[in-house]
Structure 1
Amino acid sequence: MWSICIIPLVIIIAMTYCSHKWRNPTSKGIRLPPGSMGLPFIGETIQFFIPSKSLDLHSFLKSRINKYGPLFQTSLVGRSVVVSSDPDISHFILQQEGKLVELWYMDSFVRLVGLSGSVKDGSCIIAGSIHKRLKKLVFDQFGPQNLKAKLLPQLQEMINQALLNWTTQNFVELKHACTVMIINFTMSHLFGYDPVKYGEIQAEEFTHFFEGLMSLPLNIPGTTYHRCLKKQKSTLKIMKMMIEDRQAKLPEERTRGDFLELIVEDMKNNNLLTSDLISYMMFGLLLATFETISTTLTLTVMLLTQHPLVVQELERENKEIVQKRSVETAMTWEEFRSLTFTKQVINEVLRMGNFVPGFLRRAIKDIQIKEYTIPEGWTIMVVPSAIHLNPETYTDPFVFNPWRWKHLAENNVTSAKNFIPFGEGIRLCPGAEFSKVLLTLFLNVLATKYSWSQVKPGEIIRAPTMGFGKGYYIKVAEKSI
């Protein structure tokens, strides 16, 4: 009888103790940021992944910032996390890589992008000379020097051809159409991709991959993550074929000077650079390139459709530079730099879009911030949306107002602390300038040569990355001269 009574009592006491420890994860008597760890093991993961249909802060973030302030603790996918929406704290954290923090990825990202052999508990250890070399290769391909030398006319030709093709269709689903355009260009420019030789890569598959990067890593039939893992194999097979073809041709053929040629050369002198690792790196580069740009272009057109006065000003500015040319030529670097209002439109879309839910780092030692301590091993999520939608920095933050950027620039408000669409610190996106140029060229061509009308409104969905429920459809037509 005693044993029958004692065993349930012991279980209840143990569960109560574990639950208390989970909800109060104190360490060494330090003071943690306020917040809730949610349910044992599950944490607040479910709330984090609940879709939100707005450009506003995700409800998960908004409710906790209102309750706990700009720095709070939570638990996501089994990890203890401190979330920062404070510009000063976020700036400090992003400047501390290699000192107080290290890069960290969600488990779903690690497994889908193939970093499992280069990551320990989600923290990236591809660092040092390899990281620097890869970053330099990407920067050489997409940086200002190459943009000036040859990419500007190539990008403009790509955009002209895509928009002209769209006019031949009754309507286009804009996100998909932009994805196809960017994937084809990036694959060709970086890797010398030939769809006839290697087989067609479907744009839809890459869109699903990106959804899987920020999903629960449940490899169960029917889940987003499971679908991504299944589709991953065919794409990686193509990547490995391309690597092997280049290896067979080198050193006899050195004609392209693209990313793949240069990285295959590096493989000869670095045993860590295997064909498997390089194929995953190529895969990751494509994901980073196409998804953010295609989503940005789609949101840009959605917002422009709702704001005809902005479209009028875009047309005025871009027609001015076109009319100054004696003949029709590609945009020059000087013309690109002169498009002030166009850049303001892009900044405003990036500010409101917040396509990356957060930048993740992991504390490699205890970090003292104000009266709180972030313990070693905890994940830190810097949330750009909270910074970009801060009413203390941006008046009426949910109003699409490109003209605000003139005032902000005059008052030096747009510092690195208040505007971080491409990250900050040593992890600043090396393709940032490429993205800005592509967006500028797209708006230039669209505003001067084409008109469009909305066929079917898209529904913005954050889950937590941004998507467009049921698609955003437009009809594109050439302007009559």
Structure 2
Amino acid sequence: MVGLKDSGHGRLHLQSSLSIVDVFSQQIVVGLTLSAEIELHSIISAAQNFEDQSWPLTVQGRSSAPNPGLSVVALLAVYVSQHIYRWRNPKCSGALPPGSMGLPMIGESLQYGPIFKTNVAGRPVIITADPEFNHFLLRQDGKLVDTWSMDTFAEVFDQASQSSKKYTRHLTLNHFGVESLKEKLLPQMEDMVCETLRKWSSEESIEVKGAAVTVSIELNHLPCMTNTWLHVQELHFDIFLPWQMTINFAAKQIFSGGLENAPLNISEMFKDLVEGLMSFPINIPGTAHHKCLQIHKKVRKMMKDVVQKRLAAPERTQGDLLDHIIQDMDTETYIKEDFVVQLMFGLLFVTSDSISTTLALAFKLLAEHPAVLEELTVINEVLRLGNIAPGFFRRALKDIPVNGYTIPEGWVIMIATAALHLNSNQFEDPLAFNPWRWKNIQPSVVSKCFMPFGSGMKQCAGAEYSRVLLATFLHVLVTKYRWAMVKGGKIVRAPIIRFPDGFHFKISEKSN
């Protein structure tokens, strides 16, 4: 059995500070607070002693008047030090889980165990990789916890009301759920995949510029398994061609729009959008977050133009998701033009982002392990190793007891799915690509330690859509094409999957 031999295989060591840093910093904070208070007391006492004397007094030619700047500095020092002390010692009705609120350091998960407190971008967060607690927590949505988003996500994806959230979920299931897949989407998916792979194997050159991550498929005189030679032309494409394929397909379902001739390169822009979502939220020109917000504005403007044209000609119906939303505008008061635009943007993003990365990862893993092509469980194994979402966030609606500790109301909880998927206690040799493992895995392990699309009431509404699209793509690829990896393929997580050294394949259509 061959494991993934690269430094970015996804072993999760969640970051926080070491305990020695906390002890040392806490001593500094306490000392700073005490010294600042003593200094401030001295200044006030001196002012009271001299309040009846004429000013300025001089001692050896120097003014003895109090320095107001020193008072300001002392007050500021007291305020800052007390704020730091409160931050490092948050109030809690019980005992907080172990951990540190200091600067992030590597090794907290090893030092404190599967549940610990830490500091993420200045916010107190509980990290949990405990299967039992995660399983319990994801079934408490609306009771003990509610969904929560990082600041970067909240700024791009507007936080909707509960009514609009329910509407969005119902709409997604209606157009991308199991029934829709059976009735119309599956044949369309197969046609789309066949056409895409045919183009990849026939066009002389395909190249997408500006990609930090490159996947190249090189077609040349490729020997077939029949010992004959199949002449094909050279083809270059990068990892974002799966983005183009999935985005174009989703766009046709959402607003009957083909994006091949769109004024914006949506696939390239969504790649930059993902980078910005994972960055520190500093909105300054030149930062990834600033670029992310600019992309959001541009794509929304394009979506707004689509919506306005459809509203201006209501008689020209397409039978797509946008028509469905426009019809509901008469009955649902919260459905305004901005809501429709944001909903279309969000659906287009979520129905293309994770799928494209999973397809690229499947290319790599199947090329390295051709013996698994007949295994139906290969999709589960790709999703387990993929860990497309590093985790799910929840916010505590009330104090939550766990293992003798208390998670305070209002604190954020991160359910670290990557730590579950790569847990050696549940998956033997977890970094190895081994689809056969699923034949012997207990159902309880699957339900509590395998959640590529979440779990519980708020599991991803597009989970089945993603699975079927992935299965369809792999089916056509395996039955009609041959391919082999030439070079590259190193995987890193920062925190999502990337291929920094490129990804080169040889691929050809099978001879009849």
Same fold, TM-score > 0.5, yes or no: yes
Partner Cα separation in structure 1 for residue 444 and residue 135 of structure 2: 14
1:158 shift after superposition: 0.7
Task: Spell out the pairing of 1:305-454 with structure 2 (5 A cutoff).
Answer: 305-310=367-372, 314=373, 317=374, 341-342=375-376, 344-408=377-441, 411-454=442-485
Describe the shift of the 1:279–1:207 C-alpha distance in structure 2 as closer, same or farther (beyond 3 A).
same
Q: For residues 34-70 of structure 1, what are the alpha-carbon distances to aligned partners after superposition, in whole Å with 9 as ceiling and x for unaligned?
A: 111114xxxx3xx6xxxxxxxxxxxx5xx22111011
Matched ranges for 1:458-473 at <5 A: 458-473=489-504
Evaluate the alpha carbon distance shift between residue 10 and residue 145 of structure 1 in structure 2; reply closer, same or farther with a 3 A threshold: closer
Would the aligned equivalents of 1:167 and 1:476 in 2 still touch at CA under 8 Å? Answer: yes
What secondary structure is seen at the aligned counterpart in 2 of 1:469? coil
Distance 1:6 1:237 in 2: 52
Q: C-alpha separation between the residues in 1 aligned to 2:238 and 2:73?
A: 59
1:357–1:465 Cα contact (<8 Å) kept: yes
1:352, distance to aligned residue in structure 2 (A): 1.0
Task: Please give the alpha-carbon distance, in whole angstroms, between the structure 1 residues aligned to 2:175 and 2:71.
Answer: 69
Name the amino acid aligned to 2:473: F
Give the counterpart letter for 1:476 in structure 2: I
Match of 1:178 in 2: 242
2:359 to 276, 286, 297: 297
- Which protein shows a greater Rg? 2
Determine the C-alpha separation between the residues in 2 that align with 1:161 and 1:200: 23
* Distance across 2 between alignment mates of 1:6 and 1:243: 59
Pair 1:7–1:142, CA change in 2 (3 A): closer
Q: Please, which of 271, 290, 293 is the counterpart of residue 207 of structure 1?
A: 271
Residue in structure 1 matched with residue 31 of structure 2 by the alignment: none
Structure whose residues are more often helix by fraction: 1
Please say if 1:35 is aligned against 2:79: no
Distance 1:231 1:455 in 2: 34
CA contact (8 A) 2:248 2:258 kept: no
Moved more, 215-224 or 194-203: 194-203
Cα distance in 1 between the residues matched to 2:260 and 2:116: 52
Q: TM-score, structure 1 length as denominator?
A: 0.82
Among 93, 99, 110, the residue aligned to 1:66: 110
Q: 1:147 aligns with which of 165, 181, 184?
A: 181
1:126 equivalent in alignment to 2:172:
no
5 Å matches for 1:138-287? 138-168=172-202, 169=205, 170-195=234-259, 199-250=263-314, 252-254=315-317, 256-287=318-349
Compared CA separation, residues 195 and 178, structure 1 to 2 (3 A): closer
CA contact (8 A) 1:171 1:455 kept: no
Aligned mate of 2:122, from 75, 78, 83: 78
- Per-residue deviation at 1:151? 1.2
Q: CA deviation at 1:72?
A: 0.5
**1:245/1:470 CA distance change after superposition, 3 Å:** farther
TM-score scaled to structure 2, two decimals?
A: 0.77
Amino acid at match of 1:38: G
- Closer, same or farther in 2 for the Cα pair 1:455/1:223, shift >3 Å? farther
User: One-letter code of the match for 2:387?
Assistant: N
Residue deviations 1:60-101 (CA, integer Å, cap 9, x gap): 5xx221110110101112221101100111111111111111
Could you say if the C-alpha distance between residues 17 and 187 of structure 1 is closer, same or farther in structure 2, counting changes exceeding 3 Å? same
Aligned to 1:416, the other structure's residue is in SS state: helix
Q: Which amino acid aligns with 2:381?
A: E
Aligned counterparts of 2:368 and 2:389: Cα–Cα separation in 1: 24
Change (3 A) 1:437 1:76: same
Distance 1:291 1:194 in 2: 17
Q: Aligned partners of 1:233, 1:475: CA distance in 2, in Å?
A: 38
- State the match for 1:18 in structure 2: 83
**Across the two proteins, how many residue pairs are aligned to each other?**
417
What amino acid is the match of 1:264? I
Mean CA deviation greater in 80-89 or 129-138: 129-138
Deviation, 1:12, is: 5.0
2-side partners of 1:153 and 1:68: how far apart?
50
CA–CA distance in 1 between the matches of 2:481 and 2:378? 18
Q: Aligned to 1:172, what secondary structure does the other structure show?
A: coil
Partner in structure 2 of residue 135 of structure 1: 169
* Partner residue, 2:148: 104
Q: Is the CA contact 1:172–1:474 (under 8 Å) kept in the aligned structure 2?
A: no
Distance 1:391 1:249, change over 3 A: same
Partner Cα distance (2:415, 2:399) in 1:
17
Q: CA deviation at 1:9?
A: 6.0
1:132 match: secondary structure = helix
Instruction: Give structure 2 stretches of 5+ with no counterpart.
Output: 1-38, 44-66, 206-233
Give the letter for the 2:285 counterpart.
P
Give the drift of 1:428: 0.7
Task: Report the CA distance between 1:200 and its aligned residue.
Answer: 4.3
Structure number with higher relative contact order (C-alpha < 8 Å, ≥ 6 residues apart):
1
Structure 1 alignment gaps of length 5 or more: 48-59, 120-124, 318-340
Hey, what's the Cα distance between the residues in 1 that align with 2:345 and 2:293?
Answer: 13
| Amino acid aligned to 2:333 | N
- The CA distance in 2 between the partners of 1:373 and 1:32, in whole Å, is 5
Aligned CA-pair RMSD: 2.1
